[in-house]
Amino acid sequence: MFFTYLRRELRRRRKAALVVASGLALGIALVIVVDSVTAGMSRAQAKVLESLYGLGTDMTVTKAASPPGEGDAVRRPRFRFDAGEGTDGAQQSQDVVMVQGFETLTASTVAKVAAQDGVADAVGGLSARVMKVDGRFASGEVRPAQPGQAPGQGGAGGEVRGGGADFGVDSYTVYGTDVAHQGLGPLTSSKITSGRTFTAGETSAKVAVVDSAHAKEQGLTVGEKLTVSGTAYTVIGVATADSGDASADVYLPLAEAQTLADAKGRVTTVYVRATDSQRIDEVKGAVQKNVPGTTVTTSADLADTVSGSLSTASDLATGVGKWLSIVVLGAAFVVAGLLTSSAVSRRVREFGTLKALGWRSGRVTRQVAGEALAHGLIGGALGIGAGLAGAWAVTAFGPTLTAELGGGAGGGGGQRFAGGPGGGGGPVRETATRALDVALTAPVSLTTIGLAVALAVTGGLVAGGFGGWRAARLRPADALRRVG
């Protein structure tokens, strides 16, 4: 009897049912779109952070470089070339490899961090920069002294003209990776597109993996030699960054990078994976307490430094979008309740007659609540459909967002050399930003669908509560007064 009466009333009051369901559908669809866009923002931010630290890294441990004190010597790149006899016109080249970004930590720091409660894995890495200078010296031409030339003018034997030096400066980044533990670190954010990656036994091998952009620029392919500071390394693989911007131009075994940078037994960054994502803050506190003198940066800390259109859109989605969806959904619930209550007031004769025929107030209330719940489920179905369509449209036609990350984060911060090679100024921490383009997506999860169903049921119950309260107060006498 309940379902027969319910089906008949829904058919008879199709327009009213559609109005109530449409209001609920609008609110539910907006919630789905906002929730999916917010999830897409989180995924985009995670992709940006992975481009710095690689997959699976929950935090990094570094040691910030302290400003030089008065009288402290500042290490500057120094290049020395022999300009003696036989060097005229000959190609000259020299590399200087320097640690970049942060002060180094001892390799034992990696073991200390790994021993902390809540740490699943910890791997050290060394970030360095190679400054390469090459070019030629050219001898000048000595011209005999002319008659009447003042003594000493142009030298004892005459005047020297022409000559000089023509040198170019190139710079690229090198990352030393622990080949025995390749599950963490910047190399995991790249995909090997040619050749292979390192093997666990190549801890001291003269091999290198080169980023695809750097390989194209330098004309390097698998099997060719890459010479760094006089040491030849065989290119065994070419890697392409998933984010389009690699963390380093060249990847070497950690021991080799340490030797080149004169930093044996040292690392610049410890990459950490927690046993549980819910314990990241706890692990951060433990490392800061038990490994003094270090700076711990979590993915959440890095997310706060992301700027650009990605950050702006994320703020809109999490702030304005969520509040808007809450307001619209609340309004939809109220409107659905008022419409249901109004419909009950127009059905006084019907409900009063049913009570006169023996229906109890509880049965009338359940009938009204059942109709309202049906409206909510219909609105939920419409809302889920509209929400899925909206999420698909965002993914298909959404804009490409730009994320800007400050340089020097983690192990990827750069250096510049003020004053030029060999000049004054020394290495200075670079504050330039890295800009990454990320396509906006709006993934819809099963949790979001479940939330939509729950909202539909809640909306139906809210509307049913309004209407049922009105229906329970009706008396058979009200129906009799309206007959005739």
Task: Examine residue 87 and state whether it is found in any structural domain, yes or no.
Answer: no
List, for residues 376-385, the tens digit of each pLDDT value: 888 888 989 9
Task: Examine residue 272 and state whether it is found in any structural domain, yes or no.
Answer: yes
Q: At which of 236, 267, 293 does a domain end?
A: 293
Q: What is the pLDDT of residue 27?
A: 83
- Give percent above pLDDT 90 in the chain: 18
Domain of 210 in residue numbering reads as: 92-134+169-293
Same domain, 288 and 361: no
- Judge if pTM exceeds 0.85: no
List, for residues 122-133, the tens digit of each pLDDT value: 999 998 988 877
Q: Which of 91-100, 180-189, 280-289 has the highest mean pLDDT?
A: 280-289
Instruction: Provide the b/e sequence for 78-112 (b: ≥16 CB within 10 Å).
Output: ebebeeeeeeeeeebebbbbbbbbbebbebebbeb
Q: What is the pLDDT of residue 425?
A: 31
Contact 31, 325 (CB under 8 A): yes
Tokens of 255: 């021991």
DSSP symbol at 95: E
C-alpha closest to that of 374 among 4, 13, 17: 17
Name the packing angle between helices 14-53 and 446-472 (round to 10°): 150
Q: What is the pLDDT of residue 206?
A: 94
Same domain, 278 and 366: no
- Give percent above pLDDT 70 in the chain: 62
Contact 450, 330 (CB under 8 A): no
Exposed, middle or buried: residue 6 (CB in 10 Å: 0-12, 13-18, 19+)? middle
C-alpha closest to that of 247 among 412, 410, 435: 412
Contact 49, 302 (CB under 8 A): yes
Q: What CA–CA distance (Å, rounded) separates 303 from 233?
A: 36
pLDDT tier at 432, thresholds 50, 70, 90: very low
Same domain, 45 and 98: no
Alpha helix (H) residue ranges in 78-165: 108-114
Same domain, 241 and 358: no
Task: Examine residue 329 and state whether it is found in any structural domain, yes or no.
Answer: yes
List, for residues 288-313, the tens digit of each pLDDT value: 999 988 888 887 776 666 655 556 66
Q: At which of 232, 258, 293 does a domain end?
A: 293
Task: Indicate the SS3 state at residue 276.
Answer: coil
Q: What CA–CA distance (Å, rounded) separates 358 from 17?
A: 27
Report the C-alpha dihedral over residues 324, 327, 330, 334, rounded to 10 degrees: -130
Cα 295 off chain centre by: 20
Tokens of 6: 């319910």
Same domain, 98 and 28: no
How large is the average pLDDT for residues 118-123?
A: 91
Q: What CA–CA distance (Å, rounded) separates 124 from 108?
A: 10
Q: At which of 240, 267, 293 does a domain end?
A: 293
Contact 192, 164 (CB under 8 A): no
How large is the average pLDDT for residues 193-201?
A: 92
Q: What is the pLDDT of residue 358?
A: 74
Contact 209, 192 (CB under 8 A): yes
Tokens of 111: 């073991």
Same domain, 31 and 111: no
Same domain, 114 and 227: yes
Q: What CA–CA distance (Å, rounded) separates 146 from 257?
A: 57
C-beta atoms surrounding 179 within 10 Å: 24
Same domain, 210 and 238: yes
User: 272 forms bridges with which residues in the sheet?
Assistant: 59, 122
C-alpha closest to that of 247 among 172, 170, 182: 172
Q: Which of 1-5, 156-160, 298-302 has the highest mean pLDDT?
A: 298-302
Q: How far is CA 343 from CA 138, 142, 149, 295, 369, in A?
A: 98, 109, 116, 64, 12
Contact 206, 253 (CB under 8 A): no
Q: What is the pLDDT of residue 250?
A: 93
Instruction: Provide the b/e sequence for 268-307 (b: ≥16 CB within 10 Å).
Output: bbbbbbbeeeebbeebbebbeeebeebebbbbeebbeebe
Contact 73, 118 (CB under 8 A): no
What is the domain count for the chain? 2
Same domain, 458 and 358: yes
List, for residues 328-356, the tens digit of each pLDDT value: 778 777 777 777 767 666 666 666 667 67
Q: What CA–CA distance (Å, rounded) separates 45 from 404?
A: 11
How large is the average pLDDT for residues 458-470?
A: 73
What is 422-470 written as a DSSP string? TSTTEEEE--PEEEEEEE------HHHHHHHHHHHHHHHHHHHHHHHHH
List, for residues 72-117, the tens digit of each pLDDT value: 444 555 555 565 555 555 666 667 788 876 688 898 999 999 999 9
Task: Examine residue 43 and state whether it is found in any structural domain, yes or no.
Answer: yes
Task: Examine residue 163 and state whether it is found in any structural domain, yes or no.
Answer: no
Contacts of 60 (CB under 8 A, 6+ apart): 53, 269, 270, 271, 272, 296, 297, 410, 411
Looking at residue 422, its amino acid is: G
| pLDDT exceeds cutoff 80 at 467 | no
Contacts of 324 (CB under 8 A, 6+ apart): 30, 34
Q: What is the pLDDT of residue 99?
A: 84
Q: Please tell me the chain's helix, strand, coil percentages from 3-state DSSP, rounded to the nearest 5.
A: 45, 25, 30
| C-alpha gyration radius of the chain | 36
Looking at residue 401, its amino acid is: L
Task: Examine residue 79 and state whether it is found in any structural domain, yes or no.
Answer: no
Q: How many residues does the chain have?
A: 484
C-alpha closest to that of 253 among 364, 141, 310, 178: 178
Same domain, 272 and 394: no
Task: Examine residue 80 and state whether it is found in any structural domain, yes or no.
Answer: no
Please provide the average confidence, as pLDDT, over all residues in the chain: 75
Same domain, 107 and 239: yes
Task: Examine residue 39 and state whether it is found in any structural domain, yes or no.
Answer: yes
Same domain, 345 and 463: yes
List, for residues 225-272, the tens digit of each pLDDT value: 998 888 899 999 999 887 656 678 999 999 999 999 888 999 999 999
Q: Which of 113-117, 129-133, 158-162, 370-374 has the highest mean pLDDT?
A: 113-117
| pLDDT exceeds cutoff 60 at 28 | yes
How large is the average pLDDT for residues 15-27?
A: 80
